[in-house]
Amino acid sequence: MSVQTTVSMNRRTLLKASGLLGGGFLLGQLPAGSVLAEEAVQDLVVTGEMNAFIRVTSDGRITIYSANPEMGQGIKTALPMIIAEELGAAWEDVEVLQSPVDESRFGRQRAGGSTTIPRNFDSMREMGASAREMFISAGSLVMEVPEEELDTAESRVVHTSGRYMTFGQLASLAAKQDVPDPGSLSFREREDYRIIGTSVSGVDNLSIATGLALFGMDTRVEGMLYAAYQKCPAIGGRVVSANLDTVKKLPGVTDAFLVRGNGNPRELLDGVAIVGTSTWAVFNAKEQLNVTWDEADASKDSWRALTRDARALKGSRGAELTLEKGDVDGVFADPDNTVREAFYEFAFVSHLCMEPMNCTAHYRHGADGAPDSLELWIPTQAPGRNISTASAMFDLDESRITAHQMRLGGSFGRRVYSEYVCEATAISKRVRAPVKLAWTREDDMHHDFFRVGGFQNVKAAVNPDGRLVGFEHHFIGMSTDDQPVMGAWFRDTEFPMQNIDHVHASKTLLEIATPCGPWRAPGSNTNAFVVQSFLNEMAVAAGRDYVDFLLEILGEPRWFEEGNIRSLNTGRAADVIRLAAGKGGWGRRMPAGSGQGFSFYFCHAAHVAELAEVRVTPRKQLIVDRVTVAIDVGPIINMSGALAQVEGSVIDGLSTMLGQKITMEGGRVQQTNFHQYPVLRMPQAPKVDVHFIQSDYAPTGLGEPALPPLAPAVGNAVFAATGERVRTLPFSEAGFGA
């Protein structure tokens, strides 16, 4: 006699039995002690891949990939915070990993120009919201309730009744749901944020503090050799010969050879490679090198000559007109107007990254006719660009090149080029082994892509009412091969000269061969010094309060490019000016020898005002006591990271302003290390008070915009304390010491 049993299965039971609710639920349906149960324990953790950025395992672990290079700006923490917010994850359940380099999966993987947050904010919200809807869909199936009654919070799918299931329980099933149409997604309102806007410790902080391998310099590869590379001290010099036989006999050296480059300083210049068993060995051997260089086509740049030629142009106009409106000559000739003129200088400066340039490369020669391949471990702002450059330089298909994105030990625009990658690759190809190339501090300073030096002659007029009525600007900059190294200063988007009736702007370019490149807040870092220092001078000439003077120039609230978030908004500008003035106590009486200085600047889609308080001793020692910063970049993602960026910008700006200067003679950079290129010490650091206006505009970047207003704020404070105008960067050139 047989007995037939009928079992009724609902959707939840079916899903659990089929294993779609994850390992935990699968295990719960099996008899204890069975073979299947033991196998289930071994395979307990089931991974749900929600999209390229999100993985969730059945034990509740949430992995979020950060795809863009991290160089201290905090985006490895901020971007995953955006995803986690929309997903409804509990931040303590999240592990953040650096993604592979694959722009077909992760989109544009670059960092620079303070654009990472604005470029990725919406797409990160989309990734999080898409995964959230997939979890809700899975929860609806299992809990047998409408999706409209579900939401996510604290890594759970929660019903309006309070019932919930964890992401871990739903991971496998959620990953199998249809990916929502991006157009159907909705995003959380700001008042509902639980992660965005809070202070979150950087995801790498513990690893950095405990010395775990994160940076390019930490890379270790089996069978790896170490390399140093010597280039001509004058840029563009070609190698003729070197004492290679002597160097090869030195301890720890396995090879030394000449390398022929393509003449492009952004790719591969001629040099001498030394390969050995340790960085210490090749650095020591490098000191024993004797190289003969052919400098016929090398740089002959001279800072003294550039300065002489520029100063000869004082009071003149440039040959190339860049903007003209009204009649500035008539305004300047009007005897009722007050006219002032000034000449400003700013030196070349180095990026001075704490981690010098380095790259580990493994060039593999194909066997039996197989194609060659290349694997790279790079601290870079632009891994995709490095792949493209290496592909062209070494005739490799890009599909044969693998790049690993390492954390950058500082960059500020320095690591956008590929020369250290090309050097490491060329050496690895020659020695047929993985090679870690490291530059010395001297290499790093001599072969930088410097912030370009330059000069500006400015002239302006205020009428008897104290209103700015005329402005003339002559930009004296640099060019290479007749191409401007940086664009002419006159940028209407950075300060509203459109509100001035009579304007004339022109430029003159001096030819140089010294390599230059982006340096934290390119262009703005020197333009702000000139503009805000000279406008302050005009306000004093007019007998006006500087804050009132600035607000008058700004005029009525408006966008300079209608609705463009990366355009100056005079209303937002006025708000940060008033906030900084109020929080910093602008206009209060200061002791003898002390002064306040104010500045405002717009760049990188950020409106920033700064108020500096300084003391100046009778021997011209400059002490900056406090800097008050007001800034509007829209809603803050990570308050901890945002504060660090603004404070770091102020410190970096102050350090550069006080005494940093790169000079060259005969094409050779004259500074070699910190003893000739001073860096701010901790006792010299001011108190920095930061105030954010968390406006409703889309969030923008913070890595650069707080630096430009620092120098003019301090310079204006020096004038208030001493009556002396500083018109040169660094201030040490005017006799002021730290």
The three-state DSSP-derived secondary structure of 183-218 is HHCCCCCHHHCCCCCCCCCCCCHHHHHCCCCCEHHH
Match 């090879």 to its residue by tokens.
255
CATH topology (fold) of 11-189:
Aldehyde Oxidoreductase; domain 4 (3.30.365)
Give the model confidence (pLDDT) of 154-194 as tens digits: 999 999 999 999 999 999 999 999 999 999 999 999 999 99
Q: Give pLDDT, residue 642.
A: 97
Note the pTM of the prediction, 2 decimals. 0.92
Identity of the amino acid at 163: R
Which range (364-368, 394-398, 536-540) has the least confidence?
364-368
Q: Which has the higher per-residue pLDDT, 3 or 570?
A: 570
Q: Give pLDDT, residue 482.
A: 81
Task: Say whether 324 sits in a helix, a strand or coil.
Answer: strand
Alpha-carbon distance of 129 to 122, in angstroms, equals 10
Mean pLDDT score of the chain, rounded to an integer?
92
Give the model confidence (pLDDT) of 124-162 as tens digits: 999 999 999 999 999 999 999 999 999 999 999 999 999
Q: Give pLDDT, residue 21.
A: 55
DSSP 349: B
Alpha-carbon distance of 31 to 35, in angstroms, equals 9
Q: Give pLDDT, residue 625.
A: 98
What is the phi/psi pair of residue 702, to 5°?
-130, 0
Q: In the predicted model, is pLDDT for residue 283 greater than 60? A: yes
Structure tokens at 318: 């440039």
Q: Give pLDDT, residue 494.
A: 72
Q: Where residue 8 falls among pLDDT bands split at 50, 70, 90?
A: very low
Q: Where residue 487 falls among pLDDT bands split at 50, 70, 90?
A: low
- Residue 132 contacts residue 87 (beta carbons within 8 Å): yes
Any residues with CB less than 8 A from the CB of 47 and at least 6 apart, and which? 55, 56, 57, 58, 171, 175
Give the model confidence (pLDDT) of 69-84 as tens digits: 999 999 999 999 999 9
Angle between helices 710-722 and 524-542 (to 10 degrees): 30
Give the model confidence (pLDDT) of 554-569 as tens digits: 999 998 887 787 889 9
CATH of 303-350+451-734, one of 1.10.4010.10, 1.20.120.550, 3.30.365.10, 1.20.58.220: 3.30.365.10
Q: Identify which of 35, 1, 32, 28 has the alpha carbon closest to the alpha carbon of residue 12.
A: 28
Is the preceding peptide bond at 730 cis, omega within 30 degrees of 0?
A: yes
Buried b (16+ CB within 10 A) or exposed e, 141-170: bbbebeeeebbbeebbbbbeeeebbbbbbb
Q: In the predicted model, is pLDDT for residue 492 greater than 70? A: no
Q: In the predicted model, is pLDDT for residue 66 greater than 90? A: yes
What is the phi/psi pair of residue 638, to 5°?
-125, 110
Which range (41-50, 200-209, 594-603, 645-654) has the least confidence?
41-50
- Domain limits, CATH 3.30.365.10, in the chain: 11-189, 222-297+357-438, 303-350+451-734
Task: Say whether 141 sits in a helix, a strand or coil.
Answer: helix
- Dihedral sign for Cα atoms in the order 50, 51, 57, 62: negative
% of the chain beyond a pLDDT of 90: 88
The three-state DSSP-derived secondary structure of 696-734 is CCCCCCCCCCCCCCHHHHHHHHHHHHHCCCCCEECHHHH
Any residues with CB less than 8 A from the CB of 163 and at least 6 apart, and which? 143
Give the model confidence (pLDDT) of 451-472 as tens digits: 999 999 999 999 999 999 999 9
CB atoms near residue 583 (< 10 Å): 16
Task: Say whether 616 sits in a helix, a strand or coil.
Answer: strand
CATH topology (fold) of 222-297+357-438:
Aldehyde Oxidoreductase; domain 4 (3.30.365)
| 57: enclosing H helix or E strand | strand 54-57
Q: Give pLDDT, residue 34.
A: 30
Q: Which has the higher per-residue pLDDT, 692 or 484?
A: 692
The residue-averaged pLDDT of 37-64 equals 73
Question: CA distances (Å), 176 to each of 130, 171, 635, in order?
Answer: 13, 9, 34
Q: Where residue 368 falls among pLDDT bands split at 50, 70, 90?
A: confident
Alpha-carbon distance of 613 to 602, in angstroms, equals 21
Structure tokens at 564: 């463009």
